[in-house]
A and B are shown apart, each in its own frame.
Chain A
Amino acid sequence: MDYLIMVIYAVTVMGVLLGGVTFAILAERKVIGAIQLRPGPNRHGPWGLFQTIADVMKLLMKEDVIPAKADKPIFVLAPVLAFAPAFSVMAVLVYSSSIGGADINIGVIYFLGVSSITMLGVLMGGWSSNNKYALLGSIRGVAQMVSYELPLILSIIGIIILVGSLNITDIVNYQAEMGMWFIVPQFLAFVVYMISSIAELNRSPFDLPEAESELVAGFFTEYSGFRFAFFMLAEYTYAIAIAALATTLFLGGWLGPAFLPGIVWFLLKVCAVMFIWFWLTATLPRARVDQLMNFGWKVLIPLALLNIVVTAVIKVWMG
């Protein structure tokens, strides 16, 4: 591949991603609004389409307040460190049989490894703010993210056992050969993945790190203006990336009836996964910290281990 094409590909993905995040935020507000029987944002543009753009412009014009007691270098670095890994994982995603990023043979490990750096941004942001709410939010967030990263990774191992490869293209091609998406043979893993991904993304009902009724805004309490915007951007970028990984692993990636091109199927499935998250946000109340930790360690991890053992035994049995 030519290097120029690579740069063009990366810039295109970033452009599409920024547009995607803009409309994902609008979609979340619209969906939650519809569920709560109110119109949601509807002032800027037709059907409120430009609401997020207006929000971003406003944040761009806002003063960037850095508290006097904050640890300035770390405070400045944290939003960058939250966003960069969330975007870097997009490099290995494959959107259709012809459109895709880096074809590396450790694709899934790269994705999981790099995405966990995001929590360093959370920790640094909370610690350097020198604010009690921010500190509480960030250590809660990190405890939650490390606890739920284990079931997230363990749930994927069942698929790795079946496919025998960590390459994302191989995983989708295996599903095409099998004639079945992994959501059917690995349904338990899919449930574990979806629940732990919500906790990993700090989304409601597991949004304890930014529980606004007790911690103001959690780890980004002290952030304002565009630095705050980058934390939000990182959060939604990571959400899209995790939804895309769920699509690739469990929902057959770009596979689908031939009347639509592969990439359209891929994007539709990503939207469906994100819609489920929005739906849960509007439906469920926030979990307590002890419920959250108990659920992760005592339910999800044993379930994920059980899934690995059963899958491995069946795989070896069938030869």
Chain B
Amino acid sequence: MSLGVYYDNYILVLIFMLLGVALPVVALTFGRLLRPNNPYAEKITTYESGITPEGDAQVRYHVAYYIVALEFIIFDVETVFLIPWAVTLDQLGWVGLNMMLIFIGILALGLAYSWKKRVLEWN
């Protein structure tokens, strides 16, 4: 594949991204001509099943979500690490396989540890 064709493919990706941003922006901008605009105090209050909203919603939330996020980062990095290995496994042979089995083994150990520590329980 020549370099020009190589970059052309990424230009197509860029066109898709720009179009993906353009459609909502254009539709919402021109939609302004069609839709009514009549906000008043009651209409723009926060919806809380019809009763007067109580306090602020941007508060601290349950710590379990942070733990999920931490676990996700660990395993996501692993996944990113697995992909180049998966592509080149043909050339790596047994040596590459054994190394990655050790790596997956350590991570499985980590998953087993957080399982044992009841981090994965949701309550």
What is the CB-to-nearest-CB distance from A276 to chain B, in angstroms, rounded to a whole number? 25
Residue interface bits A222-252, CB-to-B below 8 A is 1, else 0: 1001110010000000000000000000000
Residue from B25, B38, B97, B107 within 8 A of A312 (CB atoms): B97
Residues of A in contact with B (beta carbons under 8 Å apart) = 1, 3, 6-7, 9-11, 13-14, 60-70, 79-80, 83-88, 90-92, 101-104, 109-110, 127, 129-136, 139, 142-143, 146-147, 149-150, 153-154, 157, 160-161, 164-166, 216, 221-222, 225-227, 230, 289-290, 293-294, 297-298, 301-302, 305, 308-309, 312-313, 315-316
Known: A161-B89, A290-B123, A315-B89. A132 touches B57 (CB 8 A): yes
Say whether B2 faces chain A, with CB atoms less than 8 Å apart: no
Known: A84-B17, A84-B20. A166 touches B28 (CB 8 A): no
Pair B28/A146 contact, Cβ less than 8 Å: no
- Give chain A residues whose Cβ lies under 8 Å from the Cβ of B56: 69, 130
- Give chain A residues whose Cβ lies under 8 Å from the Cβ of B68: 143, 146-147, 293
Say whether B45 faces chain A, with CB atoms less than 8 Å apart: yes
Pair A316/B89 contact, Cβ less than 8 Å: yes
Give CA–CA (A110, B17) in the complex, Å. Answer: 12
- Give chain A residues whose Cβ lies under 8 Å from the Cβ of B108: 302, 305
Give CA–CA (A254, B61) in the complex, Å. Answer: 46
Pair A316/B27 contact, Cβ less than 8 Å: no
Task: Report, nearest first, the 6 A-B pairs whose CB atoms are least far apart.
Answer: A84-B20, A87-B20, A91-B16, A290-B122, A102-B9, A146-B72
Interface size class of B (residues with CB under 8 A): 35 or more
- Give chain A residues whose Cβ lies under 8 Å from the Cβ of B47: 67, 131, 133, 216, 221-222
The residue on B at minimum CB distance from A147 is B68
Give CA–CA (A90, B23) in the complex, Å. Answer: 15
* 9 extra interface residue pairs, beta carbon distance < 8 Å, beyond A65-B43, A312-B89: A60-B35, A63-B38, A64-B28, A66-B39, A102-B13, A157-B79, A160-B83, A216-B49, A312-B86
Pair A316/B44 contact, Cβ less than 8 Å: no
Give CA–CA (A241, B28) in the complex, Å. Answer: 23
Give CA–CA (A157, B90) in the complex, Å. Answer: 14
Give CA–CA (A131, B43) in the complex, Å. Answer: 14
The 14 listed contacts between A and B (C-beta, < 8 Å) are A13-B16, A14-B19, A60-B31, A61-B34, A68-B44, A69-B53, A87-B19, A87-B20, A88-B17, A91-B16, A146-B72, A146-B76, A298-B120, A316-B93
Give CA–CA (A290, B43) in the complex, Å. Answer: 36
Give CA–CA (A127, B39) in the complex, Å. Answer: 22
What is the CB-to-nearest-CB distance from B34 to chain A, in angstroms, rounded to a whole number? 6
Known: A83-B24, A150-B75, A293-B120. A11 touches B19 (CB 8 A): yes
Pair A150/B111 contact, Cβ less than 8 Å: no
Give CA–CA (A63, B61) in the complex, Å. Answer: 32
- Give chain B residues whose Cβ lies under 8 Å from the Cβ of A63: 35-39
